[in-house]
Amino acid sequence: MMNEKLVVVWTSGDKDVAKNMVFMYTLNAKKRGWFEDVTFIVWGPSSKLLSDDAELQGTVKEMIEEGVKLEACLRCAENYGVVERLKDMGIDVKLMGEPLSNYLKDDRKVITF
């Protein structure tokens, strides 16, 4: 049986990378049925970029509406002072080391940008 679970780890603070690759691919992976279960993790500098950028926030809203599961690293969000902004977007902000390790052990397809 094919693995239908994708985890996208977004760490880049580069908006062009986010807009023209990471967000586009993640949204379409779910929307077009390329993967049944899609999880998007905001980690590192990406949490600051997302908290400040309305255009990217709009795409995150669309991802959530399509059924993409959104998570963010609590420690990174704390370091950038953006915990509440991320939570207000509907993102599950939590410690991510163990969940990512479990995704890898669960043999999900994990890609990082």
Q: Does the pLDDT of residue 1 top 50, yes or no? A: no
pLDDT tens across 17-69, in order?
999 999 999 999 999 999 999 999 999 999 999 999 999 999 999 999 999 99
Q: Does the pLDDT of residue 2 top 90, yes or no? A: no
- Complete domains list, the chain, with CATH: 1-10+39-105 (3.40.1260.10)
- Per the CB < 8 A criterion, the answer to whether 46 and 13 are in contact is yes
Q: How confident is the model at residue 3 (pLDDT cuts 50, 70, 90)?
A: low
Q: Give phi and psi for 91, each to the nearest 5.
A: -90, 135
Place of tokens 């163990």: 98
pLDDT tens across 80-103, in order?
999 999 999 999 999 999 999 999
